[in-house]
Chains A and B, each alone.
Chain A
Amino acid sequence: MKDKKNLTTEINPEIRDILIEMGAEDIYKCYQCGKCTSVCPWFQVEIYDYPVFKFSLETALGAVASSEDKKELEKEIDLIYRCVGCEACLDQCPHGISTSNILRAARRLLVDFDSYPDTLKSTVQKTHNVGNPFGEHRENRADWAKGLNVPNFKQGMEYLYFPGCLPAYETRNQKVAQATVGILQKCGISFGILGVKETCCGEVIRRIGAENIFKEVTKTNIKEFNNSGVKKVLVTSPHCFTTFKNEYPDFGADFEVLHTTQYFSHLIDTGKLKINKSFNKKVVYHDPCTLARKNNIYDEPRNILKSIPELEFLEVENFNRNLSLCCGAGSGGLWLEWEKEERIVNVRLKQLMDTGADIIAVACPYCLQMFEETLKSMSTDIQVMDVTEILYESI
C-alpha cells in the first residue's frame, strides 16, 4: 500500500465549511505572497520553519486537522498550537487576513474533538472550575491587596480596577498590581476591586479554542459587572483589555475599558500625576502584541517613560512598534513548552539586551512572566519591570 502522505489531498468541503463558520472566513482572500510567514516570530527561530502562508489555502481545501494518520494529526495539532496570536501576519497582510483567527477556528474544531494538548486542557479546566488558568484558590485572589487598604468595588465608585489572573496570583506580577494601586491612591482616584469575586476574563481559553467555556465565563463576568454597577474598568493586562473592549460587547457588555498606561499617560498630561523623582537608567520598551498591534496603543507607555527625568529611553532597532516581536506567551504559549533553541522569547530577549539597556520595560503580565522566567537561566544583569512599576518609583 502507498504511503498516505504522498496521496493528493482531497478537497474536504465539510471541514472547510465548519472552519469558515468558526471564524476562518478570510481564507479566500489569500494570494499566497508569504509576507505573513517572514514576519511571524517563528521565522526568527532559526531552526524552525512555520508555514503561516499555507493555512489559508489548506483551510480552503479542508485539509486542516483532517489527517487519518495519527502521527500526521499530531504534527498538525503541533502546528495549529504554535501560533502565539501576535498578529504580526495580519499587520502586514496585503489583504488583511487574520491567520490567528483561521487557526483559532481549527482549534475550536480540535477542542470539540478533545484532540488538543493536555497542558492546555488543564488550563481550560482550571479556568472553568476556579476562575483562573493556574488552578489557584478563589479565596486567595485578593491576597495581593492585603494591607494596602483597597476597598471592594461599590456602586458610585469611578473605576473598577481589574488586575487579572497573573497580577492577582503570581508573586512577581503582584508587585505590578500593588504599584498600580499605589499610583491610584496617590492621585486620589475613586476605585475599588472585585476581590475574591474576580474571575478570569477568558481570553486565553478563547484563544485555545474552548469557545463554549469562554462564553460561559463571559456571561458570568458581565452579570457580575452589571450587578455591581461597573461603568469604567481599569486593567493591567492587555489580554483582559482586548477581551473586554473588543469581544465582550458581542455578549451584551456595556462598560468603558482603559489600560493603565492609557490612564496614567492621561493623568501625566493633565497634570494630575506629578513625577518627582528621576530614574537614572537606560530603559528599552517592549511593545506587547495585544496592547500595540491589536489595540494601537503605542504612544501612551512611551509617553510615561519619556516623562520620567533622567530615564534614557531606547527602542529596539527594526523591531519596535508594529514591527515588534512577540514574547511567545500569547494564545496559550505561556503554558506550552518548546525546546530551548525553539523559543521565541530567547530571540526577543537577545534583541532587547543588544540595545544595551539596564531595564526592559513591559506593559503586559504575560511578557513580564515570560521574560522573568527566561532571564533566570541567563547570566545577565538586565532587569524586567512593568511601566507601572517604573512610574511608581518615580512619584
Chain B
Amino acid sequence: MKKIGVFVCHCGRNISSTVNIGEVVEEIKKYPGVAFCTDYKYMCSDPGQDLIKKNIKEKKLDGIVIAACSPSLHELTFRNTAEKAGLNPYLTEIANIREQCSWVHSDTKEATPKAISIIGSIIEKTKLNESLSPVKVKVNPKVLIIGGGIAGIQASLDVANSGHKVILIEKSPSIGGRMAQLSETFPTLDCSQCILTPKMVEVSQNENINLHVYSELEEISGSVGNFKVKIRRKASCIDNSKCTGCGICSEKCPVSVDSEFDEGMGKRKAIYTPFPQAIPNKPVIDKENCTYFLKDGKCGVCQIVCSLNAIDFKQKDEIFEEEVGAVIVATGYELYPMENMIEYGAGKYPDVINGLQFERLLSASGPTQGEVLRPSDNKIPKRIAFISCVGSRDPEHHLPYCSKVCCMYMVKHALLYKEHVPDGEAIVFSIDIRTGGKDYEEFLTRAKEEGNILYIRGKPARIIKQGDDLVVWCINTLTGKQLRVKCDMVVLSMSMVPSSGALDLAKALRIHTNIHGFFSEAHPKLRPVESLVPGFFLAGTAQGPKDIPDTVSQASGAAAKVLTLFSSDEISHSPIIACVNEDLCSGCGICVATCPYDAREMDERKKIVSVNEILCEGCGACISACPSGASQQKNLTDNQIDNMIRVLLHSNAGALERE
C-alpha cells in the first residue's frame, strides 16, 4: 500500500475560518493509507513547500495530497515541489477545500466534514495514481503558410526574420492578395500598393522564405511538430529559369478576357501577370482561355515572340513534398456574390458595382488609371450612392454577421470619389455606422465635413433603372420620408465570405470552421490565433472579417505562436490522456468518430484502436463514449472515479475502508 502524505493549508483565514483544521488533521491521520498529515498557514509559501519536501524525503512518501485552493491555481507549483523532493509529479494531487468548501459555506459544522470528504476522495484517487512522464516529441522548425495576402506575407516575414524556414504557398500567380487590389487604405489614406509592395519584395528576397505561387496544398499528414505535406504547383507553361518577365508575350497574346485582379473592370491576356508589381514577375498561361489549348495547338504567338524560349506548352502540374512543424492558414476572403441581390439589379445593371470593383476604378494602376468612370459608358458619374450592409446583417436571406470593414471603406470610397470628382455628390446609405478602431471615428467626421458626404439612415429596397439613371428607392428612417435618389452609379458594400477553397482546405487539414466557413479559433478571446488542433494557426480574414491592422496583428500573433513552438527542439505534452486496454477493445470505432482532435487511430488489421499521444488533449470524450470500458484516462480511471464517488457519498472519511 502507498504511503500517502496529506498537507492541509489554512490559506490565511480563507479556509481556517470556516473549516476546523485541527479536526480535519486528526480525522485524516486515521484514514487508511495515510502515513502523515500536517497543516500549515500558507502551504504555497517557501516554508510551506519546504515542509512538503522535507516530509516526502523523511517519511518516504509515495503520494501526496495538498488540501488547499483550486488546482488551477497551484497544482503546477506543488507538482514541481514534489519533483524537487524526488517524487513523480503525477503522484501529487490537490483537494480543493477552498473554492469548493470554505468559500461557499459559513457553518463550520457543515464545512469541516465536507472538507474531510473531499480530502478523502482525493486520497483514494492518489492511491491508484501511476508515475507518469510528459509526452515528448521533436519539432521540425519549419512552417507552411497557406495564402500570400497581407496576412501570409506578414507571418512569413516574422517567422523568417527570426531565423526559421518558411514555405509560403499562394494559389494565384502572385502574392499580394486583396490588399494589392486596394487603392488607398483607411484611415490614413496611404496608398495600399506603396506600403504593400516593399513587403512583397522582402518576401521574394528573404533566404528563409521558399515561395511557391500558383500552388495549392494537395495533402497533409502527421501532427504538431512533424507534418508531411504535398503541394501541387500548377503548370504555368513558363520555364521560370529562362523567363525574365519582359512581358512581350502578354503584349502579343491575341486573347483578351476579364481580369480577376481588376474584378472584371479591365481586361487581361490569356498569358498574363496579374499586375505590374506582381511577385514573382513571371507570367502564367490561363489554359481555359488560351487558343493553343482550346484549338489543338493553333496560335502559339507567345512561343514565337519569346526570344528566350521560355514558353513550355507541355509543362505538367508538379507535386512536391515538404516536412514542416506547423501550419498557418491565411486564405483570406471573397465577396458575397452580387448576383444574389436581385432587388438591386446587381449583375444586371453594369453601373451597380461592388466595393472591390470601385477600388480598381480608384486605383492609379487600375483599368481607368485612377479616373472614376462608370462601366456602362465611361462617363464620369456625378452622383454615386454607396450602400452598406449588402448581404451582411440579413439573417433571413443572406448572412447574419457584420462584415466589419464596410462602414470604414465606404467613408474612404466617398472621400476618394470626392477627391477624384470634386463636383460629384457622394451619398451613403447606412443603418449603423461602425467606426470602432483607432482614429476611425475621427476619419468619418473629417470625411463628412471636408467631403460634404451625405449620410442617409436607411437600407434601400430597390434600385430601378430609368433611362440613363439608376434610381435608389429608400426611406429616410429618421424622418419617415420617402426618397427616390437618382444616381449615375451605385457601389454595394458586399459582405465578406471565406475564400471558395476554404471549406475543402479545412477538411484536408481536419480543423474546424464556423457555419459560414470561417476557420474557428481555439478560444474566442484567449486563443484567437490558434485552431483547436495543435500545430495549426490562423491569420487574417480566413478566421473572420477584419481590416488590415487587425489582420497584420493577428498574423504577427500567429507567427509568435509558431516561434514559441519552435523555441525548443522538443515539445512536451501532458501525459494525462486516454489509453486503451487492448484486451477489452472491440474495435467498434465510436472513439474515432468522437475524438475532436483526430487522435484516435484504428488498426484495421487488429481491429483495435490506439491513441496518438501527441494529438490527444485528454478531454475524455472517447472515454465516456467507449461502450466496453477499454478506453481509460490515465490517472483518472473508472476505478479511481468510483472510489472517489463512494467516499463523497458517505458523510465521513474512511467510510470506504469501514464498509
Contacts and interface: CB of A to CB of B under 8 A. Distances in A.
A51 interface: yes
A37 interface: yes
Interface in A41-55: 43, 49, 51, 53-54
A288 B485 CA distance: 29
A32 B475 CA distance: 11
Interface stretch (B113-121, B389-397, B533-541, B552-560): B389-397
Nearest to B481: A49
A35 B342 contact: no
Interface residues of A, number: 21
Contacts of B293: none
Given A32-B431, A38-B473, A94-B394, A49 B480 contact: yes
A252 interface: no
Contact of B475 (A31, A37, A318): A37
Interface size classification for chain B: 20 to 34
B477 interface: yes
A39 interface: yes
B342 A323 contact: yes
Contact of A318 (B393, B460, B464): B464
A101 B446 CA distance: 43
A34 interface: yes
A94 B462 CA distance: 14
Given A35-B461, A323-B343, A51 B473 contact: no
Interface in A39-93: 39, 43, 49, 51, 53-54, 92-93
Interface string B472-502: 0111110011100000000000000000000
Contact of B480 (A35, A54, A95, A318): A54
A38 B484 CA distance: 9
Contacts of B476: 34
B462 A34 contact: no
Contacts of B474: 34, 38
B459 interface: yes
A156 interface: no
B431 A38 contact: no
A45 B464 CA distance: 16
B462 A39 contact: yes
B463 to A, nearest CB: 9
Contacts of B480: 37, 49, 51, 53-54
Interface in A302-341: 318, 323
A33 B396 contact: no
Contacts of A151: none
Contacts of B458: 33-34, 38
Interface in B385-414: 389, 393-398
Q: Which 10 A-B pairs rank lowest in CB-CB distance, beginning with the nearest? A: A33-B459, A94-B394, A38-B461, A96-B396, A34-B477, A34-B458, A39-B461, A38-B473, A34-B475, A37-B475
Given A34-B459, A35-B460, A38-B462, 12 more contacts: A31-B393, A31-B432, A33-B459, A34-B458, A34-B475, A36-B461, A43-B461, A49-B480, A92-B343, A95-B395, A318-B464, A323-B342
23 contacts: A34-B461, A37-B480, A38-B460, A38-B462, A38-B473, A38-B475, A39-B343, A39-B461, A39-B462, A43-B461, A43-B473, A49-B481, A54-B480, A92-B397, A94-B393, A94-B394, A94-B396, A94-B397, A94-B398, A95-B396, A318-B465, A323-B342, A323-B462
Interface of A: 31-39, 43, 49, 51, 53-54, 92-96, 318, 323
